[in-house]
Structure 1
């Protein structure tokens, strides 16, 4: 194992195709990943990728083709992702909870001409097809419903290629591999352009931070529209370990998966640490195979309990889809409670004021980042040149997050300076929540802010003013939200107000609302027996399922 994986790989070889090719050549019979009861070797996976790549080219999908993907995690998705990279196409993973206006916005902004969707999500494409004149083709995996819009093909057609006919496409490390959407702040969600080098380096840095080795087993339950699922996969290739791939997170079976498959590493996003600690301790917890847990965040109040209970080391970072992993605490670093780590050797990080002047030690300000080598940050926002210039100004990438640094060089994340929220591992654009809520005919204005959640991160709190002479009850508005929004955006708290606190220029002072939080007059969805699931809105006290996803 090298001192640094990233330093040991030439930059030109940091592409998805070359990383896979190198590992398949070095360890052809080694197991890359397992899914259910099946295992797939590095060489076997490369062959599957070559077959699909050959078919993609035959279908007219190649260099520069923008392909949106609306699929659950599966070996098929994994193969599609690498096959698209193999032919130089651009993968655009879409959150499978998205529908309606949010889905239409991302498909339009990303300039997708081809879409691949699981059958469960294909109908959503048809519902917005009239708004997508550029979408030329839809491939459906599974039993396809009748879908309006672009010509519909069977995903199984993409599995019929011949490996010997795989294209010989030279994909540069500087070329765009994907577009991942990140939550908007004062506007709609933005699509971050990710080069092959950046995406591959992201996973390589993850392997370095966690000290991954060929005997590591990485548990990957994250959806592939999140960068986390992608960097876990790349890290597995880089270290030569094995990945246990799951369709989704299940806390009830989590430790059984760890025990059965010898899991040594996983990403604990959101409230995963809290949820694991909420399970009754097992006699053999401290002797589990877990070696490292990459916790984002790494809550200071439970850090030592997690390490003690599972006999492991916790690592953590500050990072994002745009900036990579510029701050981290690795497996060999000391623990500093509340800190997200120290500056990576591959980046420069500063704390600055509103004019981008560096602030003294201990004084909070905005975190700004720049890489020390090319292609270690995102390449901008697709279709939003003004937002790209705004974020990448004065030679620094502006995170929109507040933090501080101590005298020993440890960074502390303080707050999001933006209007985004994070709910159970999902980034949420307050702008998009507000836009959807104001679509109700009785709502004049809506403001969405974060409220402290019972378990990690945020709950969504929406405050509304009503149009003159109109009314709507909280349960009616809740049902409306559940019909229009991804399940994780649906607000927990609702307030009906006369107006909001405002600046002299009439801007809403969201920081005052966040500081106050929901009060005794706020309507609480949970307290009134409502629960939001992936399948729809459920009344937990004697009511049937209402609606569906």
Structure 2
């Protein structure tokens, strides 16, 4: 069954604007806690105005425009305005360095950059190295020096007629760069059909209605906020409430003030919320579900649900899968430590290194069957080799290890590269981390493999202790020795205050590994 048809983002926004012109679509709270609100009609008018600004600046269908913005109204308007004319949004992390931005702007061949004055210095040293970049426009600008680049002024002088650029549902609408945990980031091509599909999938999976309101605290430059929150709301004519930044202490207060009913988080923000001083008033919220990705302990999940009176629903997805191929059902049996069962439009298998399906209960790579350009990414921009290695006969090879349980639910094990080879045995870093997580003095851990002349790799556990915890390396190693097979016990423990993370909270183990090796080389 095709639930996409030939629709584009422009078609969907036009349809919902005609259905709900005076209904609130978007609420936004900036870092000063100022509130802004747009109806469907007001949002569509701004989108059309900015579309015409882009056209007047010579932006053509198929060209890339980079956004370097925090969560803001201008991000949302730019996304749909570019889609309106068939141009391609390239959202980027505001924490990216000048060198990282130079790579993305050069690789994407972006013709335009939209950012804020506070980030201009970042681009001053690289501007001359980017011959394709014609102009830099400024959002939320209030000065005079760059008044001619002021996005708001340009929009005020543009008309609000909808552009009539011919669009196809499989045209690329956005390019999201992966976090680059192994090499240079790859540009994941996302089509109009991809966005339409994930909106349909997520809205059906969580039983979304026009009365719901999605709370978006994760970065808009990341797929989660776009795919799962924004698109599901737009699909059913619901509304979204966006905060400029995530606040662990204010999360449920914001949810209550916004009258939000649905939320999306990652494991790290969940742990941050739990680490705050508990306010019993936070139970009095309208949230009926918060879905999340990555792993929390069963204890943390239970604590969150009991404290805040809202169920946590674990799912599995990645930038390349676009939609969520695995999710715990909102109705029926929920397996708290699993990543769920296959959702609409996907098949999921666990395979060995030769691509053969493994028996139930055995660990292998998670692969996802879909249609590239519709239910899966179209491919990697200017990287046919990586595309061919990832998309094989309609199957997307995720690079993640998992297993299928006897209960029919899938369980995440670890990234393939996080499998540590110890004296001929495979050790899942996630398994060691799970044991460490049960120690009362451990707040969080990251387990890596490092070269070992005798045993292939040694196991090193980086640990963030709980506040006021008094634990030693010997104590934790003994703790693991009593709970793990000998070859799985860490050789050493390194205590740290924090981990390097991606913008969405994933621990960057490649950086930890690099730091460890550099330190070892100097000893």
Q: TM-score range by the shorter chain?
A: 0.7 to 0.9
- Residues 419-476 of structure 1, C-alpha deviations (whole Å, 9 max, x = no match): 69xxxxxxxxxxxxxxxxxxxxxxxxxxxx99969656859x898xxxxxxxxxxxxx
- Measured in 2, the distance between the counterparts of 1:143 and 1:458 equals 44
> SS at the partner of 2:149?
strand
Which structure 2 residue ranges, 5 or more long, are not aligned? Answer: 29-33, 420-428, 462-487, 504-523
Q: Which moved more, 1:348-357 or 1:104-113?
A: 104-113
Aligned length: 450
Change (3 A) 1:111 1:258: same
Is residue 170 from structure 1 mapped to residue 166 from structure 2 by the alignment?
A: yes
8 Å contact from structure 2 (residues 190, 373) kept in 1: no
Is residue 501 from structure 1 mapped to residue 455 from structure 2 by the alignment?
A: no
- Measured in 2, the distance between the counterparts of 1:419 and 1:102 equals 25
> SS at the partner of 2:336?
coil
Change (3 A) 1:273 1:33: same
Is residue 253 from structure 1 mapped to residue 250 from structure 2 by the alignment?
A: yes
8 Å contact from structure 1 (residues 210, 315) kept in 2: no
- Measured in 2, the distance between the counterparts of 1:329 and 1:170 equals 39
- Measured in 1, the distance between the counterparts of 2:67 and 2:306 equals 40
> SS at the partner of 1:133?
coil
Q: Which moved more, 1:266-275 or 1:295-304?
A: 295-304
Instruction: Name the counterpart of 1:275.
Output: 272
Shift of 1:310: 2.5
Shift of 1:226: 0.5
2:26 equivalent among 33, 40, 46: 33
> SS at the partner of 1:290?
coil
Instruction: Name the counterpart of 2:340.
Output: 341
Instruction: Name the counterpart of 2:304.
Output: 306
Is residue 199 from structure 1 mapped to residue 192 from structure 2 by the alignment?
A: no
- Measured in 2, the distance between the counterparts of 1:364 and 1:165 equals 54
Instruction: Name the counterpart of 2:214.
Output: 218
Instruction: Name the counterpart of 1:94.
Output: 92
- Measured in 2, the distance between the counterparts of 1:119 and 1:502 equals 51
> SS at the partner of 1:215?
coil
- Measured in 2, the distance between the counterparts of 1:275 and 1:526 equals 13
Change (3 A) 1:341 1:55: same
Q: Which moved more, 1:178-187 or 1:248-257?
A: 178-187
Change (3 A) 1:66 1:455: farther
Instruction: Name the counterpart of 1:60.
Output: 58
Q: Which moved more, 1:101-110 or 1:127-136?
A: 127-136
Shift of 1:396: 1.7
- Measured in 1, the distance between the counterparts of 2:50 and 2:99 equals 32
8 Å contact from structure 1 (residues 122, 145) kept in 2: no
Instruction: Name the counterpart of 1:11.
Output: 5
- Measured in 2, the distance between the counterparts of 1:163 and 1:457 equals 54
TM-score by length of 1: 0.75
> SS at the partner of 1:302?
helix
Instruction: Name the counterpart of 2:79.
Output: 81
- Measured in 2, the distance between the counterparts of 1:73 and 1:395 equals 34
- Measured in 1, the distance between the counterparts of 2:152 and 2:247 equals 29
Which structure 1 residue ranges, 5 or more long, are not aligned? Answer: 1-6, 421-448, 464-499, 534-549
Shift of 1:20: 1.1
Change (3 A) 1:502 1:368: farther
Instruction: Name the counterpart of 1:328.
Output: 327
TM-score by length of 2: 0.78
8 Å contact from structure 1 (residues 290, 310) kept in 2: no
- Residues 306-345 of structure 1, C-alpha deviations (whole Å, 9 max, x = no match): 2333332322211100013111113113121311001123
Q: Which moved more, 1:365-374 or 1:342-351?
A: 365-374
Change (3 A) 1:56 1:516: farther
- Measured in 1, the distance between the counterparts of 2:239 and 2:405 equals 38
- Measured in 1, the distance between the counterparts of 2:273 and 2:134 equals 45
Change (3 A) 1:170 1:462: same
8 Å contact from structure 2 (residues 261, 287) kept in 1: yes
Change (3 A) 1:61 1:131: same
Change (3 A) 1:333 1:102: farther
- 1:130-209 to structure 2, matched below 5 A, reads 130-141=128-139, 142=141, 153-209=149-205
- Measured in 2, the distance between the counterparts of 1:462 and 1:354 equals 20
Shift of 1:157: 4.5
> SS at the partner of 2:382?
coil
Shift of 1:37: 2.7
Instruction: Name the counterpart of 1:23.
Output: 16
Instruction: Name the counterpart of 2:510.
Output: none
Change (3 A) 1:390 1:502: farther
- Measured in 2, the distance between the counterparts of 1:518 and 1:177 equals 48
8 Å contact from structure 2 (residues 459, 492) kept in 1: no
- Residues 88-111 of structure 1, C-alpha deviations (whole Å, 9 max, x = no match): 100001111111322222222212
> SS at the partner of 1:408?
coil
8 Å contact from structure 1 (residues 209, 329) kept in 2: no
8 Å contact from structure 1 (residues 207, 239) kept in 2: yes
- Measured in 1, the distance between the counterparts of 2:270 and 2:340 equals 19
Instruction: Name the counterpart of 2:224.
Output: 228
Change (3 A) 1:110 1:503: farther
- 1:110-149 to structure 2, matched below 5 A, reads 110-141=108-139, 142=141
Shift of 1:56: 1.2
Shift of 1:145: 11
